[in-house]
A and B are shown apart, each in its own frame.
Chain A
């Protein structure tokens, strides 16, 4: 079990930050999509910038091993356009309506919000639906 402990701790940090940043707030998401505050964009841009810089440092360090002994390499997303754009549109549409993307969904459920659990239940059904219809949607 100890090999899972780091994931648990980083997960706790992630959930804590999401709530403290109010990224799980429906109001903040409406404010973001209406361009009424820099708050959410500041979070996204500084997160991407931090990730970008640290990934470049990881690359500069060269061949390194992770804690569990695997060699660190950054996986490439499969090439394509349609599935990314269409999937993004469907997800974004839901996000705009409900103000919860998957990370905040779990974090808000942790606060005891029954509504967040209902969104999560819906998301599992949506995922299942995609699995069932995968061959019938453009990729």
Chain B
């Protein structure tokens, strides 16, 4: 049963993620994508007094999508808690060296660094602010890694290529310049 606790190599994980695209088509003619759910969750919770048009639609038609992400959370629980990997993330030597230089004492010890995720006002402010960027950006672009990089490129759509170029431009800028500066 080692395969359930060990991390999976890219050539197993990647094709399985890619198969989400045809599976969603076969289940109910759905386009695979996650960030739409952020919009649905806003639509569900929007107070009647606010009434922003972007969130005025029948979210109940998208219940399938919300069920999908509930499943994603359950899958995360199974993979990360029930069948948790007892070993550190096997990062490349170059990444380990960089992370050590950035001041991390145990790079890859957990999936995410305690230094950024443990409960503190400073960390939670940072996490919340970064979440705002992700939420704003994915809705502005109309999709995230799943909807654009995977579904969009797999169906050869030019807008998704623009989005992916933007995503990598933003990500490279943040992780090369802002992250090291922030960790100083």
Number of B residues contacting the other chain (C-beta, 8 Å)? Answer: 124
CA distance A97 to B123 in the complex (A): 12
- Interface contact A128-B14, CB-CB below 8 Å: no
Q: Assuming the A-B contacts A12-B78, A37-B95, A99-B112, are A46 and B149 also in contact, with contact meaning beta carbons closer than 8 angstroms in the complex?
A: no
What's the interface size class on A, roughly?
35 or more
- Interface contact B150-A47, CB-CB below 8 Å: yes
Please indicate the chain A residues that have their CB under 8 angstroms from the CB of B153 in the complex.
48, 51-52
- Interface contact B128-A55, CB-CB below 8 Å: no
- Interface contact B127-A98, CB-CB below 8 Å: yes
- Interface contact A7-B67, CB-CB below 8 Å: yes
- For residue A74, CB closer than 8 A to chain B, the reply is yes
- For residue B27, CB closer than 8 A to chain A, the reply is yes
- Interface contact A97-B136, CB-CB below 8 Å: no
Chain B residue at minimal CB-CB distance from A52: B154
Ordered by A's residue number, 11 sampled pairs between the chains whose C-beta atoms are within 8 Å are: A7-B28, A10-B20, A13-B75, A46-B11, A50-B17, A57-B22, A67-B27, A102-B34, A105-B134, A106-B72, A126-B38
The 10 closest A-B pairs by CB, nearest first: A122-B131, A11-B71, A88-B166, A15-B75, A126-B135, A87-B141, A92-B170, A91-B137, A50-B18, A51-B154
- Given A11-B70, A28-B91, 13 new contacts (CB under 8 A): A11-B75, A13-B16, A21-B10, A50-B18, A50-B19, A55-B22, A77-B152, A93-B171, A113-B117, A115-B117, A119-B128, A122-B129, A127-B136
